[in-house]
Structure 1
C-alpha cells in the first residue's frame, strides 16, 4: 500500500529537479550569449545571435522569462533557494562585471561556485544532504574550478579580441597547457582523493585524466581543443556517476 505514494514522491522529486536544472542552464546560457555576442562572432558564429537566427531584443525577453521561471520554480519548493540565489549572483559577476574577464574569477571562482550550486542542488532535490555528499560536492567543485581553463584553449582568438584575460592569454598558450596538465590536474586529483571520490573508481578516473592530459598538451587547433573540452565533461560525468547516487 505504501509503494504507490513512494513512487509518486520519487517522480515528483525528479520532475522538480528536471525543471530546476532546465531553468538553471537556460538562464546561464542566455546570459552568456547576450553578453558575449562579440566573442561569439569569432569563436562560435553559428550561435543564434551572431548568426541572426535570434535578435538581441528577443534574447533579452527570453532572459527575463527564464529568470522569472527560475525564481518561480525555486519559490514553489524553496529547498533550493540558497543554490538558486548563489547561481544568480555568480552569473551576474561572470557576465555583467569586468571581474568575469579574469581567469581566476571566471574559471576558479565562478565555475567552481557554479558547480557547487548545481551538484548540491541536484542532490538536495532528491535526498537529504549528508556530510559525505557535501564532501563530494566540494571535491567536484574544486575539480571544475581548476580544470575549466581547458575550455579557454579553444577560445583564445575571440577572448583576446574582447580583452578577456583567460589563462592561455595571461601566460601564453603553450605554458598554460603545461600548467593545466602538470600542476592543476594533479591538484584536482588530490582534491578528488581527499573528497573520497577517487577511491570509488580509481582506474577509470585516473585513466580519464591521463588521456585528458595527453590531449591538452597537443596543439592541433580550436576544433581539437573543443573535443578535448568535451572529454573533460565526460570525465566529470564519470566522477559524478561514481559518487552521486543518493
Structure 2
C-alpha cells in the first residue's frame, strides 16, 4: 500500500509539473502571438534575404534570439497597457488573469538579463544591439514615450531596425553588416515609418480608455 501511495504521489506531482509547464508556455505564447505576422516573420524573411548563405542552425538561433527579445518587450509593454487590452485583446495574459502586473514586471527584468546574456554569446556587436533594443524598450514603456504619436512611430521603427540588425548579424555569421544589408535596412525602416501607424486602427476603442 505504501508503494502504491508513493507511486500515486509521484504521478500526481509529474502531472502537476507538466500542467504548470504547459500553462507557462501558453502564457509566453500569448504574450507574442499577435506579433508573429507583423514582426517575427517579416524580420526573419528580411534577414534571410540579405544574408549570403543562411545555415539552418543559424536560422534557428535567429528565430530564438528574435522571439526572446519580442517576449521581453511585450511583457514590459503589456504590463503598462492592461486596461486597454481588456477591450482590444482580452485573451492576453494580463487581462485574462494568467499573470499579475507585478509578476510580469519582475519577469521583464529577468528577460532583460537573459537577452543580454544570450546576445553576448554570439558577438560584441550583437550584445550592443540587444542593449540598444533594451534602451528603446525602457523609453517606450517605462518612460511612457510610447504615448507620444511621433516618438511612438520613431521608437517602433528603431525597434524593427534593431531586430533586423540582430537577426542579420546572427544569420550572416559576421561581426558587422555589409553595405547591402545597411541599404536594405534603411529602405525597410522607411517603409515601416510610413505604414506602421495603420496597426493602431484596430485598437482605437481600447486606446480611448487610456
Instruction: Indicate the TM-score class for this superposition, using the shorter chain for normalisation.
Output: 0.5 to 0.7
1:155 matched residue in structure 2: 203
Determine the C-alpha separation between the residues in 2 that align with 1:158 and 1:132: 40
CA distance in 2, matches of 1:17, 1:91: 20
Matches within 5 A, 1:35-184: 35-78=80-123, 79-107=125-153, 109-127=154-172, 128=174, 129-162=177-210
How far is the alpha carbon of 1:130 from its aligned partner?
Answer: 1.2
Which region of structure 1 is more displaced relative to structure 2, 27-36 or 53-62?
53-62
The TM-score with structure 2 as length reference comes to 0.67
In 2: Cα distance, 1:83 partner to 1:142 partner: 19
Task: Decide whether the 8 Å contact of 1:40 with 1:50 is kept in 2.
Answer: yes
Deviation at 1:42, TM superposition (A): 1.9
C-alpha deviation, 1:105, in angstroms: 0.8
Query: Does 2:66 match 1:18?
Result: no
| Higher RCO structure (Cα 8 Å, ≥6 apart) | 2
Deviations 1:66-92 (A, max 9, x none): 112101101122331232111111111
Aligned partner of residue 48 in structure 1, secondary structure: coil
Query: SS state of the match for residue 50, structure 1?
Result: coil
Q: TM-score if structure 1 supplies the norm length?
A: 0.58
Kindly state the Cα deviation for residue 136 of structure 1 after the two structures are TM-superposed: 0.4
Shift of 1:148: 0.8
In structure 1, runs of 5+ residues without a counterpart are 1-8, 163-246
Q: Detail structure 1 runs of 4+ shifted over 2 Å in the superposition.
A: 9-16
For residue 238 of structure 1, what is the aligned residue in structure 2? Answer: none
Contact 2:122/2:170 (8 A) holds in 1: no
The number of residue pairs the alignment matches comes to 153
Q: What is the RMSD of the two structures over their aligned residues, measured on CA atoms?
A: 1.8
Deviation at 1:64, TM superposition (A): 2.3
